[in-house]
Every structure is written in structure tokens, then in C-alpha cells.
């Protein structure tokens, strides 16, 4: 069977986030986050669950590092919970919070795994939300201070840092659509939030470089290729509109220091801005936002197909047959990953790119022997690794791949109903059970290669995870 070797030094990882796996919501002085509060709201989380215990990773992290070691990972992308470090967002540092990540980083390094932290994966301290949250410009300097504080403690051992995860989700899902914390439906606020997230990123990169100059700094952006539903000019325009706010509204400022003019015009037409002057942009902001980066993290799950709604605004249409959808309802479309990487490389030329998340939700039942053979997840991963190979062959400076996710976890508004893990997590005992995809990924990492053809893991690879 033909194998395609990834470049020497290609980084293999998995990704998680604090709010989704840690639990221990009330322990060691952790403050309340906006997701703890959001979960109180009737109907906000589909299964009515709360992230209070999640995967109990806060206590079980040594066991989880053991799983990572068995996978053979080079790197682990996790996030740091701001409310553990500054329970009310600013002010006095909570030493116990810093100690936790100190131990985690040492544990990873002892296991030969590089720690790759993200500073903000959506768990804003509720105390800051009470003062306006990301709509308040002061949150940007609070974030930079928090980031610098963490780097001061861990910067002697951590070489790569990401500031934000998916600012589009925070701005749009959190402040325009109300589906994520803090649950607002205010498009004008969402634009200010997007700007403050970007500004805080630039401020944080500068502050962190002041603490650890030689480390690498970047941001993680979700990228979604947008396809028009037909070749009508209206559908083309709807696709352009969606791309404008989902992708370019964030990448243009980061790499060119400007908001995309066509997308600004869309927002004026929609009544979300009064004119081309953006009221939340102060002099000097765009220079801070476009502070040069060492890498871009890109999350890719699927593409989206758009048609024009009655008012011309984009409306998503389902084109794919049901058997090509994951449990999130997202189309399996690996070519979109190649396209997104090429597009970013050609348009913005970041010095290095990581696929910072990629994975699929499927809930396959265990077979009679107790094994979970998640063939669809393996097929999804295989297709996307071939897509990554195609991008590498086309010259994209792709340096690594982080699979979402190590464990089934708290999938935001979907609670625990969507299973993304290489390891299933028992909802009561929290015991971790490897799926076949864990053994499959282990073999990919060991070989640093992907087979042309899809196959299930060999028996020997599955044995790696037997107790
Ligand atoms: C991404 C998020 C991550 C997880 C995956 C499925 O948008 O960054 O936390 O929810 O989707």
C-alpha cells in the first residue's frame, strides 16, 4: 500500500479546551466564566447539561497525558482558563490556577509532548462580562495583562502560544445570534466585540513578546470556504457576503491592517454600521492588530453553501446527502481543507500554518466485543490528511496537524451530545475508552505518513491502548 510521508518534523497533536474538559468549576479559587453562567439559562444547552465536571481533566490530567503518550503525540494544544488565573478577570493573581498549568506543562514535557496553549477559548470571567465583556474596550488591556502574566510563569518552557480561538464564534455566535455565551443578539455589539478581540490579540502578542521574546506567537482562526448554491449573480454575492464576515473580517486586519471594504458596505446596508467610519476603531488600532505573527492556526471542519435570501443576505443550504454529514450536520468535504490552506497561503502568506483543529462528531456504538470501530471518523481523518498532503505538495508552509479532539467533551450549546473524541468518555464514571480511530491515528503518527488507501488499524496498534 502506497504511503505518503509527511515532512520531517511535522507536528502531530490533538486539541482540547479548558471549559470543555476540565470541570472543577469551583475548585482552587477558579472564578465563574460566562459559560458557567450561560449554562444556567433555560434551553441554552440542548441536553440541559453543565460544564461543572466535564471530563474531570482537572484531576485526571496525568491519566490523559498517559493516553497522549500512547498516541505518540508531539504536541498538545490546550487552553488556559482565564478565570483560574484571574477569578474576576483582573486584579490579584490566583496562584493555585497558575500552579495547575505549571504542573500540566511539566507533565507534558516529561512525556516528551510539547505544550501548545491557547489563552482564550471562550471562557471569559463572568466578572468582566458584568462590566461589558468584549464589548468594553478595557477588556483588551485586561487580556494582554492576563496573557503576559501566564507567559511570565510558563514562558521558560512553552515555545508556542496562541492568543484567541475562533474570534468569529465569540463575536457572531455569542453576540449576534445568541447561541453561545453571553447569549446576546446585537449585531452592532458583535462588530465592536470582533474588533476588541482582534485588538486584544495584538496587544497580547506585544506584551507576551516582552516576556518571552523568542517564543512563537499566533492566533487560531476558523476558516470556512464558501460556495454559491448556483451560478446566479445573487448567490455569488451571498457567498461573497458570508466569506467577507466569516473569513476576511478577521484575516484582513491581521495580515493587511484593514477591514474588507465590501464587507463593511454589507454591514452598512444591513443597518449594523452608520457609515464607513467604524466607531470602535481608534487611531493606531490597526497597526496593533497587524503585529507580525509567527504562525496562523487554522481550524477546518467543513465548507458551506450559500444562496441569497430575500433581502440578499446569505442563507445556508444543505447540498450534501445525509450520509455525508457528521453528527454536527456538517458536510464531509476534505477538498475544502486543501482549498482553504491554498487560499490563505496565497492571499496572506503567514510564515507558518498549523491545522489547529480538524475532526468529526460520530457516535458509533460499541460492538459485541466492546470495541468502538468508528470507521466514519477514520474515513474523515484519512480524507483530511490526504487533503493536507495536497496542500503541502502545492507549497503551503503547513507545519502540523491537531486533531479535535482527545476526548468526548462539553460541545458548547450541544452539551455532551456530540462525540468528537478519539476516546469515548463515560458520562457517569468518566472512564476513557479508546475508539479504533485512536489506534489509527497512533499508526499515522508512528509512520509520519498516511496511506493512499483507507484501512482500519492493525491489531498491534489497537493493543497499544489495552490496559
Ligand atoms: C470549534 C471549537 C471547538 C469545538 C469544535 C467542534 O469551533 O473551537 O471548541 O467546539 O469546533
User: Domain containing 257: what range?
Assistant: 3-451
Distance 283 CA to ligand 1 centre (A): 33
pLDDT tens-digit series, residues 220-251: 999 999 999 999 999 999 999 999 999 999 99
- What was the pLDDT predicted at 1? 72
Q: Which of 327, 412, 418 to mutate to test the pocket of ligand 1 (most atoms within 8 A of CB)?
A: 412
pLDDT tens-digit series, residues 410-425: 999 999 999 999 999 9
Q: For residue 48, is pLDDT > 80?
A: yes
**Per-residue pLDDT band at 310 (split at 50, 70, 90):** confident
- What was the pLDDT predicted at 466? 83
- What was the pLDDT predicted at 311? 85
**Per-residue pLDDT band at 93 (split at 50, 70, 90):** very high
- What was the pLDDT predicted at 136? 98
**Per-residue pLDDT band at 448 (split at 50, 70, 90):** very high
Whether 222 maps to a domain, the answer reads yes
Active site residue 145: no
Distance 92 CA to ligand 1 centre (A): 30
Whether 460 maps to a domain, the answer reads no
| Protein residue with least CA distance to atom 10, ligand 1 | 411
| Atom nearest to 165 CA in ligand 1 | 8
Ligand 1 lining (C-beta closer than 6 Å): 17, 20, 165-166, 169, 222, 299, 357, 404, 411-412, 420
Mean pLDDT of 137-150: 98
Distance 447 CA to ligand 1 centre (A): 28
Distance 464 CA to ligand 1 centre (A): 28
Q: Which of 33, 327, 357, 417 to mutate to test the pocket of ligand 1 (most atoms within 8 A of CB)?
A: 357
Active site residue 234: no
| Atom nearest to 169 CA in ligand 1 | 7
Indicate whether this model's pTM tops 0.95: yes
pLDDT tens-digit series, residues 381-416: 999 999 999 999 999 999 999 999 999 999 999 999
Whether 466 maps to a domain, the answer reads no
- What was the pLDDT predicted at 235? 96
Share of the chain above pLDDT 90, in %: 97
Whether 89 maps to a domain, the answer reads yes
Mean pLDDT, the chain, integer: 97
Distance 422 CA to ligand 1 centre (A): 15
Share of the chain above pLDDT 70, in %: 100
- What was the pLDDT predicted at 296? 99
Q: For residue 203, is pLDDT > 90?
A: yes
Whether 457 maps to a domain, the answer reads no
| Counted domains in the chain | 1
pLDDT tens-digit series, residues 289-305: 999 999 999 999 999 99
Among the listed residues 22, 114, 166, 411, the single catalytic one is 166
Give the dihedral sign, CA 270/271/274/277: negative
- What was the pLDDT predicted at 164? 99
Whether 243 maps to a domain, the answer reads yes
Whether 193 maps to a domain, the answer reads yes
Question: Which among 347, 360, 355 is positioned nearest to 387, based on CA atoms?
Answer: 355
| Atom nearest to 328 CA in ligand 1 | 6
Mean pLDDT of 10-28: 98
| Protein residue with least CA distance to atom 4, ligand 1 | 411
- What was the pLDDT predicted at 376? 98
pLDDT tens-digit series, residues 146-191: 999 999 999 999 999 999 999 999 999 999 999 999 999 999 999 9
Among the listed residues 22, 114, 357, 411, the single catalytic one is 357
- CATH number of the domain bearing residue 53: 3.20.20.80
Whether 467 maps to a domain, the answer reads no
Distance 149 CA to ligand 1 centre (A): 26
Distance 323 CA to ligand 1 centre (A): 22
Q: Which of 166, 220, 328, 362 to mutate to test the pocket of ligand 1 (most atoms within 8 A of CB)?
A: 166
Amino acid at each position: 500500500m502506497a504511503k505518503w510521508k509527511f515532512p520531517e518534523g511535522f507536528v502531530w497533536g490533538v486539541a482540547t479546551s479548558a471549559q470543555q474538559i476540565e470541570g472543577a468549576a469551583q475548585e482552587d479559587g477558579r472564578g465563574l466564566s460566562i459559560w458557567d453562567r450561560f449554562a444556567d439559562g433555560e434551553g441554552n444547552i440542548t441536553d440541559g447539561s453543565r460544564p461543572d465536571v466535564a471530563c474531570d481533566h482537572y484531576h485526571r490530567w496525568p491519566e490523559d497525558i498517559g493516553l497522549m503518550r500512547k498516541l505518540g503525540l508531539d504536541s498538545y494544544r490546550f487552553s488556559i482558563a482565564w478565570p483560574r488565573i484571574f477569578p474576576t478577570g483582573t486584579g490579584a493573581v490566583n496562584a493555585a490556577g497558575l500552579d495547575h498549568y505549571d504542573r500540566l506543562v511539566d507533565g507534558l514535557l516529561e512525556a516528551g509532548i510539547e505544550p501548545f496553549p491557547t489563552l482564550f477559548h471562550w471562557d471569559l470571567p463572568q466578572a468582566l462580562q458584568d462590566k461589558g465583556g468584549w464589548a468594553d474596550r478595557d477588556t483588551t488591556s485586561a487580556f494582554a495583562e492576563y496573557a503576559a502574566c501566564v507567559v511570565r510563569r510558563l514562558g521558560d518552557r512553552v515555545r508556542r502560544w496562541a492568543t484567541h480561538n475562533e474570534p468569529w464564534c465569540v463575536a457572531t455566535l455569542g453576540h449576534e445570534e445568541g447561541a453561545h455565551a453571553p447569549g446576546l443578539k446585537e449585531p452592532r455589539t458583535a462588530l465592536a466585540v470582533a474588533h476588541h478581540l482582534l485588538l486584544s490579540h495584538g496587544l497580547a502578542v506585544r506584551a507576551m513578546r516582552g516576556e518571552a521574546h523568542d517564543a512563537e506567537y499566533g492566533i487560531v482562526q476558523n476558516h470556512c470556504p464558501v460556495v454559491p448554491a448556483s451560478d446566479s449573480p445573487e448567490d455569488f454575492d451571498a457567498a461573497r457576503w458570508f466569506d467577507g464576515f466569516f473569513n476576511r473580517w478577521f484575516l484582513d486586519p491581521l495580515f493587511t491592517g484593514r477591514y474588507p471594504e465590501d464587507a463593511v458596505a454589507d454591514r452598512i446596508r444591513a443597518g449594523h454600521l452608520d457609515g464607513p467610519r467604524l466607531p470602535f476603531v481608534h487611531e493606531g488600532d490597526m497597526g496593533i492588530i497587524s503585529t507580525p505573527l509567527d504562525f496562523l492556526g487554522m481550524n477546518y471542519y467543513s465548507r458551506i453553501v450559500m444562496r441569497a435570501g430575500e433581502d440578499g443576505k446569505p442563507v445556508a443550504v444543505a447540498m450534501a446527502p445525509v450520509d455525508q454529514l457528521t453528527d454536527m450536520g456538517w458536510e464531509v468535504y476534505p477538498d475544502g481543507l486543501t482549498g482553504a490552506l491554498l487560499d490563505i497561503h496565497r492571499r496572506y502568506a503567514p510564515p507558518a500554518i498549523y491545522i489547529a483543529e480538524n475532526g468529526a462528531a460520530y457516535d458509533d456504538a460499541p460492538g459485541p466485543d466492546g470495541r468502538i470501530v468508528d470507521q466514519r471518523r477514520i474515513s474523515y481523518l484519512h480524507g483530511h490528511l490526504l487533503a493536507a498532503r495536497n496542500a503541502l505538495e502545492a507549497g503551503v508552509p503547513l507545519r502540523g496537524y491537531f486533531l479535535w479532539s482527545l476526548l468526548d467533551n462539553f460541545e458548547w450549546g450541544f452539551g455532551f451530545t456530540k462525540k468528537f473524541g478519539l476516546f469515548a468518555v463515560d458520562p457517569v464514571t468518566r472512564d476513557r475508552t479508546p475508539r479504533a480511530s485512536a489506534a489509527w491515528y497512533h499508526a499515522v503518527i508512528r509512520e509520519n505518513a498516511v496511506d493512499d488507501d483507507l484501512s482500519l488499524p492493525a491489531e498491534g496498534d489497537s493493543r497499544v491502548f489495552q490496559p
